[in-house]
Amino acid sequence: MAYNPAELEPLEVAFLGVLCIGLPPSKAAGSNAFRADHVTAVVAGLREAGERSAYLAADGESAAAPFRARLKVARESLAAKGILAEQPAGMPAAAGGFEAGLELDLVDPDAQPAVMDRYLAQVCMEELFNLPAVYPFLMERYAASGEVWRRLRDGGYQA
């Protein structure tokens, strides 16, 4: 079944759109600000609460536990719809980092799911870019991601 963003929950749209912007692995980038859960938390905070830090933990880098629980539900829902597929262990990580002490009840930041409907993800990304409150943040992440990917390629990284 084909979906459009109007048939998805707002957090599903945000997560799918974030997965489409091309975030580098946060370990390689050297910053948790490239984690998909962090970027999705900021996008959702801007969309839902009008505040960048609404869903971030006190450290300003981690997604807050209640938000991570919501994101886990959104990820599972997208997988059940066939829009996302979990990647087998050992595959190259997309966006992600490792945070000591986190339990497995959240989106695994080093094993982002594969996007099965790239067209839908692109439409979701464009929907996010069309939001005036979200656009500057996503453009900054997009531009910074390009710089990280360039540095990684220059250093011999191949995905």
Task: Say how many residues make up the chain.
Answer: 159
pLDDT tens readout for residues 137-155? 999 999 999 999 898 888 8
pLDDT at 93 exceeding the cut of 80: no
Domain encompassing residue 23: 8-154
| Amino acid identity at 69 | A
pLDDT tens readout for residues 34-68? 989 999 999 999 999 999 999 999 999 899 999 99
How many angstroms separate the Cα of 141 from the Cα of each of 2, 35, 138?
29, 10, 5
Number of domains the chain is built from = 1
Q: Identify whether 36 is part of a domain.
A: yes
Band (98; pLDDT cuts 50, 70, 90) = very low
Q: Two tokens at 112?
A: 């982002």
Q: Identify whether 159 is part of a domain.
A: no
Burial of 62: CB neighbours in 10 Å, binned 0-12, 13-18, 19+: buried
Q: Identify whether 44 is part of a domain.
A: yes
* Sign of the dihedral through C-alpha 18, 20, 21, 22: positive
Pairwise CA distance, residues 55 & 113, whole Å: 22
Q: Which residues, including other chains, have CB under 8 Å from residue 76's CB and lie 6 or more apart?
A: none
Q: Identify whether 104 is part of a domain.
A: yes
Q: Identify whether 24 is part of a domain.
A: yes
Pairwise CA distance, residues 143 & 28, whole Å: 16
Residue 143: how many CB atoms within 10 A of its CB?
A: 9
Q: Identify whether 2 is part of a domain.
A: no
Pairwise CA distance, residues 134 & 2, whole Å: 26
Report the DSSP beta bridge partners of residue 114. Answer: 85
pLDDT at 110 exceeding the cut of 60: no
Q: Would you say 41 and 64 are in contact if contact means Cβ atoms under 8 Å apart?
A: yes
Q: Identify whether 90 is part of a domain.
A: yes
pLDDT at 107 exceeding the cut of 50: no
Q: Identify whether 1 is part of a domain.
A: no
